[in-house]
C-alpha cells in the first residue's frame, strides 16, 4: 500500500481518483489543486508516489516536478489529455515515471502505479551507479596525479609512488583518495 499525493485542478476528478486509489489499496496522503510549493508539501507529507491529473502539464508544473526530483525524488504518475511528443518528452525529462494519455481510468490505476514505482526505482539505481562510477573515476584521477607528483619530486617509479601513498594513508588512517588530494594541494603550494 502506497501513500499517494494527488494533484488535480478539478475537485470532482480528484474525488474519482481518490476513490480509485482507495479501491486499488492505496492511501491518499493529500489532494492539492496545483504543483505550487510541491517540494515543501512533499517534505511535510512524505508520500510514496505523486499522481497528477491535468489537461496538459504546464511548464511551471514540470519545473516544480524537476526541482522536487533533485532534492526529494518520488515516482510521479501523470494522467493527461496532451499526447504531443514535445510534451511527453518534457514530462519524462522533468522526472515523470509514467505519462498516461487519454486521462484517468481506475481500472488501470494499480498496474500504472506499480510500473511507475518500478521505473523510478530502476532509474534511481542507475543514478546511484553513475554517481559511484564518477566518484571512483575522480578518485582515480587524483591518485594518478599524486603519484605523478611523487614520481617527479622524489624520483620514484610508479609502483613505489603508489606504495608511498598507501603507506601514508594507512599511517594517517585516511582514505587513499583523501591523502592523494592532500599531496596534490601541498604540491600546488610548494611548486
> Is residue 13 located within the same domain as residue 98?
yes
C-alpha cell of 156? 620514484
55 within some domain: yes
> Is residue 26 located within the same domain as residue 67?
yes
Query: How far, in Å, CA of 118 to CA of 49, rounded?
Result: 11
Query: How far, in Å, CA of 183 to CA of 181, rounded?
Result: 5
Quote the radius of gyration of the chain (alpha carbons, Å). 25
Report yes or no: 52 and 79 within 8 Å, Cβ to Cβ: yes
Query: Please, what is the end-to-end C-alpha distance for the chain in angstroms?
Result: 61
Domain hosting 167: range is: 132-190
C-alpha cell of 109? 490505476
Q: Is 98 helix (H, G, I), strand (E, B) or coil?
A: strand
DSSP E strand stretches across 105-150: none
Query: How far, in Å, CA of 135 to CA of 7, rounded?
Result: 37
- Which CATH number goes with the domain that contains 88? 3.40.50.2300
Digits of tens for pLDDT over the chain (191 positions)?
789 999 998 888 888 889 989 988 899 999 998 888 888 889 999 999 999 998 888 888 899 899 888 888 999 999 998 899 999 999 999 999 999 997 677 778 888 999 999 999 999 999 999 999 999 999 999 999 999 999 999 999 999 999 999 999 999 999 999 999 999 999 988 87
Instruction: Say how many C-beta atoms besides its own lie within 10 A of residue 132's C-beta.
Output: 10
What's the whole-model pTM score?
A: 0.76
> Is residue 66 located within the same domain as residue 9?
yes
> Is residue 28 located within the same domain as residue 82?
yes
- Which CATH number goes with the domain that contains 149? 1.10.10.10
The total number of structural domains in the chain stands at: 2
Amino acid at each position: 500500500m502506497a501513500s499517494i499525493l494527488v494533484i488535480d485542478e478539478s475537485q470532482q476528478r480528484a474525488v474519482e481518483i481518490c476513490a480509485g486509489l482507495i479501491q486499488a489499496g492505496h492511501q491518499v496522503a493529500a489532494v492539492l489543486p496545483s504543483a505550487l510549493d510541491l517540494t515543501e508539501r512533499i517534505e511535510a507529507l512524505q508520500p510514496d508516489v505523486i499522481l497528477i491529473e491535468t489537461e496538459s502539464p504546464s511548464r511551471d508544473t514540470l519545473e516544480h516536478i524537476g526541482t522536487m526530483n533533485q532534492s526529494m525524488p518520488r515516482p510521479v504518475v501523470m494522467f493527461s489529455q496532451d499526447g504531443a511528443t514535445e510534451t511527453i518528452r518534457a514530462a519524462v525529462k522533468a522526472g515523470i515515471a509514467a505519462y498516461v494519455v487519454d486521462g484517468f481510468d481506475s481500472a488501470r490505476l494499480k498496474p500504472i502505479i506499480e510500473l511507475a514505482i518500478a521505473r523510478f526505482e530502476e532509474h534511481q539505481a542507475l543514478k546511484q551507479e553513475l554517481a559511484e562510477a564518477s566518484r571512483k573515476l575522480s578518485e582515480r584521477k587524483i591518485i594518478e596525479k599524486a603519484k605523478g607528483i611523487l614520481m617527479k619530486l622524489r624520483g620514484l617509479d610508479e609502483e613505489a609512488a603508489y606504495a608511498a601513498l598507501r603507506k601514508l594513508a594507512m599511517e594517517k588512517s585516511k582514505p587513499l583518495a583523501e591523502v592523494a588530494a592532500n599531496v596534490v594541494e601541498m604540491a600546488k603550494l610548494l611548486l
